Homo-oligomer: A and B are copies of this chain.
Amino acid sequence: MSQTLADIGEFGMIRRIHKLIDQEGINAPGVTLGIGDDCAAFKPDEGFEVIVTCDCMVEGRHYLTDYISPFHLGRRSMVMNISDIGAMGGIPLYALVSLGLKKETPVKDMEEIYRGLMRELNPLGAAVIGGNITGADYSNFINITLIGKVEKSRMMRRSGARAGDAILVTGYPGQAAAGLKRILGNHQASDLSKDPLVTAYNMPIHRAREGRAIALSGFATAMIDISDGLVGDLGHICEESNVGAEITRNKLPLSEHMRDLINTQGWDIYEMITGESDDYELIITCAPDNKERLGSVIAEISDVPVTEIGNITAPDGIKIITPDGVRHPVRPVGWDHFK
């Protein structure tokens, strides 16, 4: 039997986590007081604003224990938060991790969650500087607060899009939704660990480096990461910028794995691309003249494809143009965990 959290207790757990962070984490710049006091402390960089986001994953709602390893669960939780910092054009710095864990959780699972978190933080020079651990009776949860920095003049908002702007998107939105559908429909309990769409869902990649490069270039007018779905998050840009948007369906980027689904499963993948999907890609708007320049800026640091999918219009909702030329109004829908 592997050792559980009940065996070592909360204080034992805290000691293990401290040790793990000491051994496998890195020292983030500016930290003046790390884990082990009432608060952590850092000295903010002059000329920067501090940016902060938080996000939570609850077992059974945002992940399924049978289909994601603790390591990848930790990774995915951190990717969500890094993505938000990246979508502002910022640099991730410090994480506070709050865990609620059932007492029968194996100690090694706990450590693997942390290793996953650090796998994402370390390459960015960022670190866990605090947090909390508590018992949970029914379902585990991970809440992360991530602190970063960005120059005020470079901060990317949702509110800067203007009619006429091009709409660009990174990567292949919808792959995570297809992966989740694969998981939920896997009644034969097949091994899906090598499935590229399941991988897209369980092991998403943030675009924080791309977001930072875009912000520094000055070519983009608005930016957001896709966590409520392509149309849902484009809707946030439209709302905050007081504009509308048109997407041309034929321009939506299709990975080969997604194409396979049309051929082999007959799935309506356009619904997946535009709807709820946890891909953490970026939507970027820019003046048409800056499209090429923006593409070059991203290509310099990243292999991720960037696709122009439509354009910003006067405020009249979001429409998808089908190949027959018809404009279909769509209602932004994101994850709604209560309905």
Residues of A within 8 A of B (CB): 5-6, 8-11, 13, 32-33, 36-44, 46, 49-56, 58, 60-62, 84-85, 87-88, 90, 94, 96, 98, 100, 103, 129-132, 134-139, 141, 143, 145, 147-148, 150, 152, 155, 157-159, 224-225, 240, 334-339
A-B contacts besides A41-B150, A52-B129, A52-B147, 17 pairs, CB < 8 Å: A6-B338, A11-B334, A32-B49, A33-B155, A38-B53, A38-B85, A39-B51, A41-B52, A52-B130, A53-B96, A54-B130, A54-B143, A58-B100, A96-B145, A98-B143, A136-B141, A138-B138
Is B134 a contact partner of A56 (Cβ separation < 8 A)? yes
CB of A44 within 8 A of CB of B41, answer no
Closest CB of chain B to A128's CB: distance in Å?
11
Q: Could you name 18 residue pairs across A and B whose Cβ atoms are closer than 8 Å?
A: A6-B338, A6-B339, A9-B336, A10-B334, A10-B335, A38-B88, A39-B85, A42-B50, A43-B49, A43-B50, A44-B50, A50-B50, A52-B145, A54-B98, A61-B135, A98-B98, A98-B145, A141-B141
**Chain B neighbourhood of A155, CB < 8 A:** 33, 41
Q: Which residues of B contact A41 (CB under 8 A)?
A: 49-52, 88, 150, 152, 155
Known: A62-B134, A137-B139, A150-B41. A56 touches B98 (CB 8 A): yes
Contacts of A33 in B (CB 8 A): 51, 155, 157
Q: A88-B38, A141-B100 are in contact. Are A10 and B53 (CB under 8 A)?
A: no
Q: Of all chain B residues, which has the CB nearest A159?
A: B37
A96 to B55, CA, bound (A): 10
Distance in Å from the Cβ of A104 to the closest Cβ of chain B?
A: 10
Known contacts A38-B84, A49-B43, A60 near B137 by CB under 8 Å: yes
Q: Are A337 and B135 in contact (CB under 8 A)?
A: yes
Q: Which residues of B contact A134 (CB under 8 A)?
A: 56, 58, 61-62, 337
Return A29 CB to nearest CB of chain B, in Å.
13
Distance, CA A124 to CA B42, complexed state (A) = 22
**Nearest Cβ in chain B — how far from A282, in angstroms?**
10
